[in-house]
Structure 1
Amino acid sequence: MTTDWQFEVPTSGSKHLPPDSRYMEALSSQGYGFEAAIADLVDNSIDAGAKDVVIHFLRDGDRLVSLLVVDDGKGMDEDELDVAMTVGGRREYDPRALGMFGTGLKSASLSHAGAVTVVSKVRRTRAAAPAGRRWTMERALNGFQCDIVAPDYAQQLIDRYYDCPIVWQGTIIRWDAVKNFPRTGGGQTDRYLHRTINKLGLHLGLHLHRFLARDDFNITIAVEDVSTGTEYMNFGVQPLDPFGYPVTGHADYAREFVATVPSVGPVTLSAHIWPPKSNTDEFKAVGTGIDRQGFYFYRHDRLVQSGGWNNFRQPEQHLALARVAVDLPDEAVASEVFRLTVKKDGVDASPEFVTALESAVDAEGRSFAQYVSDADATYRSARKRTATTRKPVIPPGKGFEPSVREAIEDELPLLPGEEPISVLWQKIDNAKFFEIDRESRTIVLNHHYRAAILGGRRGGLNDAPTLKSLLYLLLHQVFEKEYSGSREKDNLQLWQSVLVAAARAEMNRVTDND
């Protein structure tokens, strides 16, 4: 084996290799979640100086037809719109801009829609004509062919949103053939809208909370029936500050630590400890206790990572109250100490930052490691107080929503070393709503009643969380005893009778609605 190694690779020229048109297909397969994709479009509105953004779901009866994001920003002329619709289009970003890569509009949109239309108007005169472009996946794959929107339609779309929110200028992004819109009726559209709009409002409220807290910026989510002009829903997104607790969980916090990163200098860490057992949306908006602990990175006031320790340490339940806000310095992002994902839903921190955390201190010389210890102790102390006042229980297991399991574990001390209680649906005698299998620690629910209980929603391992939670609270003590006494057997029979009657009533309601 030779020991020689040439670090510089010699070349003999270059060759122009443009991307294949299938690159657009790859661009649309980056795993954009629906909420993250919409947030990326709103980022563009913020960069354009918008004061009002409307996210508009359009339906025709029980069928969703389009989704539009409308803003009153500065708009784009023909040349600017061409750049915006070019993959990786080069433009000068404002130093405080949220955009970075020149791909967000295209990849976010085509991840979820078969076609994206952009119509925009700049403030010159009220009579100035708007510009419009349209990408369809079919045309994109056929040699990057971007369609020019007919001027009459572009003006018609601008006029439709005149004064709501567009007055002099603004931009409209329209999605058609949205992939996850329901394709059947039967109430699916209403259920989809309720579920999707709730998640979207929480996502936007969290990741854009600093903008929404301002007096001059608003996001509205609305639903309109295009055949009747009826507006079914119209509400403003509320800011969800992940550090907006009513009272601190530890008297010594919040406090600021400084991590000195050699290549970029000091990075400030604003360390917080939430109060135990908080039920606010600000606390619960991010996954489970494992998901929501750790670093909350901001770039230009936009939250780009909500939770996670970035290889500093492993997450654990005892750190569920620990949150650290970090405003990323531009020079740190430029130097790639912090690398943002294209979707702006995570940050890859270099080992240089992780090493700097080990020696980070506050103004009094307190170490960042001490903060982590204090957060751990705050959680454990709250758990200890609970353990002295409430009897320990067998924990819930498979079939229960993770957030339900977490809530039970927060509120009740757990019996150590016990096999968890599972819950599942199976076919059993229709005279019963549930059965108890002590040996396998399982609550068996009658599959006959599942569709009625779910109300037409799609079933899954962790479905019907409210029902399963109530049954756990009723039945966990049964598994904690070796056998059932006469009083307990009577209670079980009572619960069976009432639940069967209720389930049959639900089935009758479904039949009547059909």
Structure 2
Amino acid sequence: MSKDKKINPRADMLMGSMRSMGYSFESAVADVIDNSITAKCTTVKIMFPSTPLDELAVGILDDGIGMSREVLINAMRYGSIASEYKREDDDLGRFGLGLKSASLSQCKVLTVISYYEGNVAAYSWDYNYILQRKDWIAKELLKEEILRLPYIEELTTQGKGTLVLWQDFDILHKSSEGLIFDALNDMKVRLDDALGLIFHRFLSSNKNKVYLYINNHKVRPQDPFLESHPKTTTKKERSIAIQDTTGIERHIVIKPFVLPYATDLTDKDRKLIGGIENLRLRQGFYIYRNNRLIIWGTWFGMKPRAELTKNARIRVDIPNSLDDIWSIDVKKQSASIPKRIQQQLKNTVMQALEISTAKQTHRGRKEKIDDELDYIWERYQDRNNAFYYQINRDSKLFQFVREQMTEGDFYLLQMLLNEVEKNLPIQQMYIDKSNEKITIQESDQRLEEVLEIGTSMAKSIKTFTNRSYQDIVDDLMKSEPLCNFSQVREILLNRLNNEAN
């Protein structure tokens, strides 16, 4: 018969390994904020040193309900709650590891101070001390030690809540070559962007609203879907039923969005989506767990990211009771779609991609593509199903220019156009377009230029036909560039009729 053998993990080795779980600074801070929100806070302040002379510590302070000494001890315990344990519906935790593993991935010393019902308690995990003792020994801070901690006045003035303190940034010291203050200063900018996205629903909510501050700067919510924009395309929200591991039916809520074209966005819109330069990277699924964004910017292998689909977003809301089915990891940075709903989600994805592609493809014309319209450029498909572009030699403008030229001049024009078509800077245009840096240079005289083109063409046609100017102009208005300037028609007609009289 087998015998039980107790084998305790080595504290120094296990804690050291868990420090290398792959948290970014932003994801580590977000994990701590999850605990604050679960503690019913309304405000979280992330405090950084203001000058190089300040103590190099980061504090995350909330005004939540706080923890008693006993509750705080349990919160400092590794694996304080089993992942399968039934939690409250609004609980943002899972493994009981986030506070410790996230914090100690960034620093060697984690101290948690909590103010509850007039009493203050503080415990600390010090990795240096663990390396010496090689055992799971946390430090309980005395009152005089607590009063010497950075940012403690903020907590005592508040009179409730919890302060999470990070000190001894060994990893940051190595990566910044000792310039820890400068590195922390840079982190503030990245943190502002990340928190504004991850917690945007809490920041913009009218119910259970949460305020986030980085020092004295208020974090503004982003809106990855631009829901209030009149040109955002939305599809109907739908619910998918799925059983959790206990057999209880749960619901996943899905809603697709396609953002407006870049030129329809104001500066404010661009800030709300996190910058136009991130459009391509942020396409895909947005997975929310209890309103907290955990995964974004991926199609989960259903489709690669592409330029034409960069405006497509699929919002998915899941309850925390489905964490295991979605394979959500400790860091809340990775997940996988349950196979039983993959096909249903794929159909939703394909619809959104079709809309996004259509928006991008048709945007090149200022009017709806119409077989009757006469364009300057034509798009052709070769026998390998690839596309190439040529100047439309049948366009009215081309034919008009052709008629004014000798055969020798026309030969030279054809030679030039052939080289223009074969030497389009497609790669550079693609790069510029991806960065939304392409614009059409419209001069103040553009309207007059188009009028001159229309006048010359109409007079030439009138010379060889008995058609009225109204008929000629109506026909020309189906050609580029005139079709892009609807106001030209009446002006052109008046000018031609006046000159004829």
Q: Aligning the two structures, in what range does the TM-score lie when normalised by the shorter sequence? A: 0.5 to 0.7
1:247 to 214, 222, 229: 229
Q: 2:454: which partner in 1? A: none
The alignment partner of 1:340 has SS state of: coil
Cα distance in structure 2, aligned partners of 1:37 and 1:24: 16
Is residue 322 of structure 2 the alignment partner of residue 338 of structure 1? Answer: no
Q: Displacement of 1:343 after TM fit? A: 1.1
Residue 111 in structure 1 maps to residue 105 in structure 2: yes
CA contact (8 A) 1:64 1:181 kept: no
- Distance in 1 separating the partners of 2:111 and 2:49: 15
| Contact 1:294 1:322 (C-alpha < 8 Å) held by counterparts | yes
Please say if residues 120 and 172 of structure 1, whose CA atoms lie closer than 8 Å, have aligned partners that are also in contact.
yes
Provide closer, same or farther for how the CA distance between residues 190 and 118 of structure 1 changes in structure 2, counting only shifts above 3 A.
closer
Matched, 1:87 2:115: no
Structure 1 position 221 matched with structure 2 position 218: no
Q: Does 1:54 align with 2:45?
A: yes
- The structure 1 residue matched to 2:92, chosen from 95, 98, 104, is 98
Of residues 297, 302, 325, the one that matches 1:312 is 302
- In the TM superposition, residue 103 of structure 1 has moved relative to its aligned partner by 0.7
Q: Which of residues 169, 174, 186 is equivalent to 1:178?
A: 169
1:201 and 2:186 matched: no
Aligned to 1:483: none
Q: Deviations over 1:42-78 (max 9, x none)?
A: 1111111111111111255456611111111111122
Distance of aligned partners of 1:191 and 1:18 in 2 relative to their CA distance in 1, 3 Å threshold: closer
Contact 1:255 1:272 in 2 (8 A): no
Distance 2:94 2:243 in 1: 25
Q: Which has the higher helix share?
A: 2
Displacement after TM superposition at 1:195 (Å): 2.8
CA contact (8 A) 1:84 1:102 kept: yes
- Structure 1 distance, partners of 2:293, 2:184, is 25
1:340–1:346 Cα contact (<8 Å) kept? yes
> How far apart in 2 are the matches of 1:246 and 1:179?
44
Matched residue SS, 1:352? helix
- Partner Cα separation in structure 2 for residue 342 and residue 404 of structure 1: 38
Which amino acid counterpart does residue 407 of structure 1 have in structure 2? N
1:49 is paired with a residue whose SS is: coil
1:112 shift after superposition = 0.7
1:143 maps to what in 2?
A: 135
Q: Secondary structure at the match of 2:5?
A: coil
**Kept after mapping to 1: 8 A contact 2:89/2:290:** no
Q: Return 255-264 or 172-181, whichever deviates more.
A: 255-264
Aligned with 2:337 (options 342, 345, 349): 349
* Paired residues of 1:90 and 1:102 also in contact (CA < 8 A): yes
- Alignment-derived partner of residue 406 in structure 1: 434
User: Secondary structure in 1 aligned to 2:358?
Assistant: helix
Distance in 2 separating the partners of 1:185 and 1:24: 23
What is the CA-CA distance between 1:330 and the residue it aligns to? 3.9
Kept after mapping to 1: 8 A contact 2:300/2:337: yes
Sort the Cα spacing of 1:33 and 1:202 in 2 relative to 1 into closer, same or farther, 3 A.
same
Code of the aligned partner of 1:237: V
Q: Which residue is equivalent to 1:273?
A: 258
Partner SS for 2:281: helix
Evaluate the alpha carbon distance shift between residue 139 and residue 286 of structure 1 in structure 2; reply closer, same or farther with a 3 A threshold: farther
What is the alpha-carbon distance in structure 1 between the residues aligned to residue 39 and residue 431 of structure 2? Answer: 38
Aligned to 2:293: 303
Query: Are 1:254 and 1:270, in contact at CA under 8 Å, matched by a contact in 2?
Result: yes
Q: Decide whether aligned partners of structure 1 residues 115 and 368 sit closer, same or farther in structure 2, where only a CA change above 3 A counts.
A: closer
| 3-state DSSP of counterpart to 2:168 | strand
1:213–1:239 CA contact under 8 A, matched in 2: yes
Describe how 1:113-512 pairs up with structure 2 within 5 A.
113-123=107-117, 126=118, 128=119, 130-141=120-131, 142-155=134-147, 157=149, 160-162=153-155, 166-167=158-159, 169-179=160-170, 192-214=183-205, 216-222=209-215, 234-249=216-231, 253-259=234-240, 261=242, 264=249, 267-277=252-262, 278=265, 280-284=270-274, 288-333=278-323, 336-358=324-346, 369-382=350-363, 393-396=425-428, 406-408=434-436
Match in the other structure for 2:62: 71
Q: Secondary structure at the match of 1:31?
A: coil
1:154-201 C-alpha deviation (Å, 9 max, x unpaired) = 25658611576x22x111111111236569999967754553211101
| Distance change in 2, residues 1:90/1:341 (3 Å) | closer
Quick one: distance in 1 between partners of 2:284 and 2:65?
Answer: 37
Equivalent pair of 1:63/1:183 in contact (CA under 8 Å): no
Residue aligned with 1:267, SS: strand
Distance 1:410 1:246 in 2: 26
Cα offsets for 1:348-367 (capped at 9, x unmatched)? 22222212324x5xxxxxx6
User: What is the aligned residue count?
Assistant: 371
After TM superposition, the structure 1 stretch with the greater mean CA deviation from structure 2, 154-163 or 84-93, is: 154-163
Change (3 A) 1:20 1:396: farther
- SS of aligned partner of 2:304: coil
1:190 and 1:396 mapped to 2: Cα distance?
39
- Note if contact 2:239-2:251 (Cα within 8 Å) is conserved in structure 1: yes
Runs (4 or more) in structure 1 with deviation over 4 Å come to 11-14, 155-159, 180-191, 248-251, 258-266, 383-389, 402-405, 408-412
Q: Give, as a single letter, the amino acid of the residue that structure 1 aligns with 2:80.
A: G
- Structure number with the higher strand fraction is 1
Separation in 2, partners of 1:137, 1:189:
19
Contact 2:38 2:92 in 1 (8 A): yes
TM-score, structure 2 length as denominator?
0.65
Conserved? CA contact 1:320–1:379, under 8 Å: no
1:111 maps to a residue whose letter is S
Query: How far 1:20 sits from its partner (Å)?
Result: 1.9
Whether the 8 Å contact between 1:212 and 1:219 is mirrored in structure 2 is yes
Q: Answer yes or no: is the 8 Å Cα contact 1:35–1:200 preserved in 2.
A: yes
Q: Which moved more, 1:183-192 or 1:135-144?
A: 183-192
Unaligned 5+ runs, structure 1 = 1-10, 223-233, 361-366, 413-514
Question: Any idea what SS the aligned residue of 1:116 has?
Answer: strand
Contact 2:111 2:164 in 1 (8 A): yes
Give RMSD over aligned pairs.
3.6
Bigger Rg over Cα: 2
Equivalents in 2 of 1:410, 1:101: separation in Å? Answer: 48
In the TM superposition, what is the alpha-carbon distance from 1:14 to its structure 2 partner?
Answer: 4.5
Structure 1 SS opposite 2:237: strand
